[in-house]
Amino acid sequence: MKEVQLPSSTGKYKIGTCVFSVIDHDRIEMIGPAPGSQGRRIRGRLYYPVLPSDTVGVSKDFVLSPALCEGLSRAFHVKIKDQVQGEYYLNASPAPGKFPLIVYSHGLGAYAEANHFLCSELASQGYNVLAVGHAFDAAANEYEDGSVDFFDKSLNSKTYRPFLPGAVATLRFCNDRRSGNEELGRRFNVLQEKYYTFLIEYLDERAKDIRSITEETIRRFGQRIDLTHGIGITGHSMGGATAYYMCRHDDLFTAGINLDGILAGRYDGMVMKKPFYQINCETNVNVSVKAALDTDAPFFWEVFKGMQHHGFCDLKFFVPISAIVGKMPPFVLHENLCRIHKTFFDRYLKESTEEVFCPEGPDFIRRA
């Protein structure tokens, strides 16, 4: 991997990190090498604020560890050998005080640290950020005891059932530029009932992952978490759909952001009561229209022009190919995503009076 330019955090805090996990013994595993087995392990990486003076002599951790490089190589059939060390400090002493908690959920086949630079920026601004590793759904999950699990490749063919007709039907649906939100919402429900049955079922499993590791985080680190205004949640792709699901179904979560995820899931008769921010590339607008329907809460919707779906995570820094990650310069995209997240969660988790940032200009389309 050739040397790449990577962003630095801009907040007043340095970033500490630790890895931990919890085993949900009551779960029946539905994916991985032993479906039907009892118990499921969920990994968490916590990013948290640290005083600069408390990082002296503390080791930095890796964003791309050897195990993760192997997992990504397996999942994407690309040789990835170089480790990448992050600007975060392993098991550093936390800054005094309590800070709100934001949960991050990765996309299908990605990994907990897939939006490392966003999570780091939020921690530097005074947040605890829990990045969740969904077992056998991530390229790799490396646990605190050194064990690793890898991506279940059978998930690729389960995204649509049957796969090819579902992929074609989804592409046609996404290319509709004439229908309004209500019509698109109606047609999307028909589409998902025909082709997204696995995604709908698996969303509930991801929700259980989020709940289990969040409760474990509060149990372990509650003395440094401010839960006064609930918990925020964000995610990319399937992780964004998970964020929406949690805001709809779980009272622990009070505000959420979706980074270009398909909003599969059954929500008939439900009304969104939580503030939500929807972010899309142009090609995925139609599969996210559900977020604009049936809501009684503040709602924001921005479309980033010229972007591709995979560009809304750190891949934009490591694979500068516009056909894969979009045309927007990585640092411009990163700055806008960080500013959206900070102002949104500042308003709803810290009661800031600052307006939620909504980017303007020729590179953006405001939908709500």
Distances from the Cα of 211 to the Cαs of 133, 168, 232, in angstroms? 13, 34, 13
Q: How many residues does the chain have?
A: 368
Distances from the Cα of 59 to the Cαs of 56, 62, 85, 182, 208, in angstroms? 9, 10, 10, 53, 33
pLDDT at 69: 77
Read off the pLDDT of residues 71-106 as tens digits, 9 standing for 90 and up.
Answer: 777 766 666 656 677 789 999 999 999 999 999 999
- 3-state secondary structure (DSSP) of residue 225: strand
CATH class given for the domain over 14-366: alpha beta
Read off the pLDDT of residues 102-149 as tens digits, 9 standing for 90 and up.
Answer: 999 999 999 999 999 999 999 999 999 999 999 999 988 999 998 999
pLDDT at 67: 77
Could you tell me the two tokens for 327?
């045309």
CA nearest 81: which of 318, 325, 323, 326?
Answer: 318
Find the mean pLDDT for residues 52-65: 88
The residue ranking higher by pLDDT, 70 or 32, is 32
CA nearest 107: which of 223, 260, 236?
Answer: 236
Residue 1 has pLDDT above 60, yes or no: no
Read off the pLDDT of residues 240-258 as tens digits, 9 standing for 90 and up.
Answer: 999 999 999 999 999 999 9
Report which secondary-structure segment, H or E, holds 184: helix 181-195
Sign of the alpha-carbon dihedral angle for 358, 240, 106, 76: negative
Using CA atoms, how far apart are residues 311 and 368, in angstroms rounded to an integer? 22
Find the mean pLDDT for residues 357-364: 96
Find the mean pLDDT for residues 267-293: 96
User: Cβ distance 225 to 200 under 8 Å?
Assistant: no
Could you tell me the two tokens for 78?
């690309």
User: Could you write out the DSSP letters of every residue in 86-117?
Assistant: EEEEETPPPPSS-B-EEEEEPPTT--TTTTHH
Sole residue written with tokens 């479309």: 303
Domain ranges in the chain are 14-366
Find the mean pLDDT for residues 186-199: 95
pLDDT at 76: 63
The rounded mean pLDDT for the chain is: 93
CA-based radius of gyration for the chain:
19
How would you classify the pairing of strands 101-105 and 231-236? parallel
User: Cβ distance 80 to 149 under 8 Å?
Assistant: no
pLDDT at 79: 65
CA nearest 132: which of 231, 260, 220, 43?
Answer: 43
Half-sphere exposure of 38 (CA within 13 A, CB side): 2
CA nearest 235: which of 83, 102, 86?
Answer: 102
- 3-state secondary structure (DSSP) of residue 261: coil
CA nearest 294: which of 318, 310, 274?
Answer: 274
pLDDT at 319: 81
Could you tell me the two tokens for 203?
């969303």
Using CA atoms, how far apart are residues 43 and 18, in angstroms rounded to an integer? 11
